[in-house]
Structure 1
Amino acid sequence: MNNLQFDKKLNSLKSWLDYLEYISNKVSLDIDKIKLVAKRLNLLKPKEFVFIVSGTNGKGTTCHVMEVLLIKSGYRVGVYSSPHFLSYIERIRIQGKVLTEEVHVNTFKKIEQKRNDILLTYFEFSTLSALYLFKKSNLDVIILEVGVGGRLDATNIIDADTTIITNIAIDHINLLGKDRTTIGIEKAGIFRPGKLAIIGENDIPSAILKIAKLKRINLLQVNKHWHYCKKNTYWNLYDRYGFLNNLPFTQVPLPNAATALISLRASGFQISTEQIYKNLPKINLPGRFQIVSKYPHIILDVAHNPNAASYLAYRLETLKKKGKIYALIGMLQDKDIKGTVDALTNHIDYWYCVSLDCPRGAKAEQITLHLTNSEYFSFADITEAWKEVIRKAKLQDIILVCGSFITVAQIMKLISINKIFAIN
């Protein structure tokens, strides 16, 4: 197909996304090729202040906390995050708002005209689209969430003013490696010489410290250069700029909220204590311990690796449980399925395991293999599993949906499309 044929056939967002999915299977990761296309589009040197956020878990929430506080403080902000739940347009936000499908289609066409014979993956194409839209939007700040890793990620074509690593755990081992040191080195690939880097984890591999020293990074690591502590009804944060005391609890993980706050303070942004105290309790993201019903208690959480599942187990412990906990779980086969279910198994009474209908989707049986001491049920179809768990659960029970963005997104669709499954 040539560019003229593309223009004729790719006029809807769906057709473009189908096309990007198709060509992604033919492309190998090579950051130099996306950098070349970005250069043709004059996207490599944004005039805005740029944050790039990496980490195994908590990237999206960290980005969102910064986004909200910056916008409420009068800055114009663009955010690029992934994956999406219900629609691709969720991936790019300007001033907290998504853009129309038409805007995205027009931007894809401009990128297509410039790429010539260079093949791009779905994520590379969407990254260029985000940067192009940000360039046209008169922004003060750009926040880019890394897709996978850092060093070879499409977002890493940009030299960030401040880089952030939320945490380092085992995930995406086929792409990043099998140990925290190797994974950490990949994530540290976003560091830029002489720039600021914020680390939200205390225990980081020594290799990252060596990279930071070699690149003369201004490294600010939790519990060394900045601190936060949790009390019964509030939390405190302090760094070289002073103290923030009696902070209200957030709906997002506290480490992510603290990392976001430190990143803004260290980067020189003027965020008033009034805006911090006023907005922190309101900040939340879909699919992150998202409570969509109370009778029964229905929780949507995208936890898909042992680290995230351990935090989810902690959150479950904080609930005043009166009934049983039903877990509807579907996972990708390249994830640590055993480690993920092991982290949750002591909290779950009944498992409803589903097969995910996608190329990387695990079969329900691949999950039940690790539930030998638990009561479980297998479903080839997620709709049937949802119907059954809704039928079984009583008003005092908890229904947890977890294991993958894909699993949570499909349940979100069922809730929004078929009101018989809607909740109070």
Structure 2
Amino acid sequence: MPNLPTTLPDWLALLESRHAETHIDMGLDRVRAVKERLQLAFSCPVIMVAGTNGKGSTCAMLEAVLLQSGYRVGLYIKPHFLDFNERARINGEMASDAALVAAFGAVEAVRGEVSLTYFEFTTLAIMHLIAQAGVDVAILEVGLGGRLDAVNVVDADVAIVTSVDIDHTDYLGDTREKIGFEKAGIFRAGKTAICSDPVAPASLVKHADDVGADLWLIGRDFNYQGDQQQWSYGGRGQRRNSLAYPALRGANQLLNASAALAALEVLRMQLPCGAQEVRAGLAMVELPGRFQVLPGRPTQVLDVAHNPHASATLAQNLGNMGFHRFTYAVFGIMEDKDIEGVIAPMRELVDHWCVTPLPSPRSADTAQLAQKLEQLRPAGAKEGDFSVTAFASPADAYANAVSRAGENDRIVVFGSFYTVAGVMAARKSSLH
């Protein structure tokens, strides 16, 4: 193929420029056509994970336990924070530039006249890369919804829906029932479907029934119990006792861990995992930006919470951390989010807001954001106990919070992947 990029940055720039011209046509026919030309097929079990929140954590736990058990694991996870390569992992390592360039070339070679969005093109390329890598198991994270997501051109052996909440209403609908139906689109006839949302939407349950999937619901087909020290999982035919809490912190992580263990129970004949491997995997799992507490003082927490459900979980986790004199929030969010719903659970916890725009045309306006937050000023707050300040970038907002916070204070970075990525990039450059 003449004049194709030879480096990953050049490929990504090309796809970005094309993406501007490709309108989103919400069907999967184009992706399916290119998948067939690629002869993309997995010769191993495929676990697919959808959900409003908790997808990334569930994928990371599955990967960690399976790696501990000695399997070769392919993982597609998104979005990335610093390097595009984070989206494709083979055996726990990020894919190399060369492997990604080869995969992009393979898609381009068969694409022909079919136009693909940036997301569709990169999804096909990464799934092709994983399918070619000779893995024992593939874990694929759904981007948006499920039914119309590019990942859904693959048939999953086990399909997990973690949580169903209101987000991306332009695409998915404005009720849990509509969104539940979209997410249930990854279920397949005769295959296992798992839902770890404690209140599964009726639309999801009905769709599983309509397509003939074998639905496992938390509280009915699998569950967990825990005390201060350890927890246990119970499924349809397997119990796992005396488990260490997952290294990912937060109250909701046992729901995610239970979904991961339910999937492993379903696949226990193909991919047996011993008790010790499960414990070690959960104890060692890492996922940046999900209630990630950085070492040192003041306490710093990075969390990609960008919808009300995730923000409420973040607030609950912060509430469990013990006393901090002041809490500084580095906060940037997209204008199409439920901004008031994201702020509401955090308003009692944050004393000083450092607001920032995000590097996206969808970024919320900082002046309007600051105005909303000023209205939350507690009555009778003493001078210096509450502030709202706008900055030009996540890096600037973060630098200001660091300069003001004392060692008994706390800094929380949240509101978007872009907010957390901006702070991660600033921290990385300050270390070099």
TM-score normalised by structure 2 residue count: 0.93
Inter-partner Cα distance in structure 1 for 2:28 and 2:300: 41
Matched with 1:325 is 327
Inter-partner Cα distance in structure 2 for 1:351 and 1:75: 45
1:183 has 2:186 as partner: no
Inter-partner Cα distance in structure 1 for 2:376 and 2:148: 41
Identity of aligned residues (%): 37
Inter-partner Cα distance in structure 1 for 2:60 and 2:284: 11
Instruction: Determine if contact 2:293/2:302 at 8 Å carries over to the other structure.
Output: yes
Which of 172, 175, 185 is the matching residue for 2:168?
172
Instruction: Determine if contact 1:338/1:367 at 8 Å carries over to the other structure.
Output: no
Q: How does 1:231-380 map to 2 (within 5 A)?
A: 231-252=227-248, 253-268=253-268, 269-371=271-373, 372-374=375-377, 375-380=387-392
Inter-partner Cα distance in structure 1 for 2:133 and 2:113: 28
Q: Which moved more, 1:241-250 or 1:399-408?
A: 241-250
1:24 has 2:22 as partner: no
Inter-partner Cα distance in structure 2 for 1:69 and 1:93: 15
Inter-partner Cα distance in structure 2 for 1:189 and 1:162: 13
| 1:247 partner letter | L
Secondary structure of the corresponding residue to residue 135 of structure 1: helix
1:386 has 2:398 as partner: yes
Structure 1 segments of 4 or more deviating over 4 A? none
Which of 102, 109, 130 is the matching residue for 1:106?
102
Cα deviation, 1:318-366, whole Å, max 9, x if unaligned, reads 1122321101011111111110011211111111111112121112234
Q: How does 1:30-49 map to 2 (within 5 A)?
A: 30-43=27-40, 45-49=41-45
Inter-partner Cα distance in structure 1 for 2:132 and 2:204: 35
1:406 has 2:430 as partner: no
Tell me how far 1:272 sits from its aligned partner: 0.6
Inter-partner Cα distance in structure 1 for 2:108 and 2:85: 18
Cα deviation, 1:247-271, whole Å, max 9, x if unaligned, reads 2111322211111111111222311
TM-score normalised by structure 1 residue count: 0.95
Inter-partner Cα distance in structure 1 for 2:8 and 2:364: 28
**Relative to 1, partners in 2 of residues 1:217 and 1:333: Cα closer, same or farther, differing over 3 Å?**
same
Q: Which runs of 5+ in 2 are unaligned?
A: 378-386
Instruction: Determine if contact 1:356/1:363 at 8 Å carries over to the other structure.
Output: no
How many residues align? The count is 414
Tell me how far 1:48 sits from its aligned partner: 1.2
Instruction: Determine if contact 2:68/2:280 at 8 Å carries over to the other structure.
Output: no
Instruction: Determine if contact 1:236/1:244 at 8 Å carries over to the other structure.
Output: yes
| 2:38 partner letter | L
Secondary structure of the corresponding residue to residue 347 of structure 1: coil
Which of 197, 210, 221 is the matching residue for 1:214?
210
Inter-partner Cα distance in structure 1 for 2:277 and 2:329: 37
Matched with 1:13 is 8
Instruction: Determine if contact 1:237/1:245 at 8 Å carries over to the other structure.
Output: yes
Secondary structure of the corresponding residue to residue 351 of structure 1: strand
Q: Which runs of 5+ in 1 are unaligned?
A: none
Secondary structure of the corresponding residue to residue 151 of structure 1: coil
| 1:13 partner letter | L
Inter-partner Cα distance in structure 1 for 2:285 and 2:142: 21
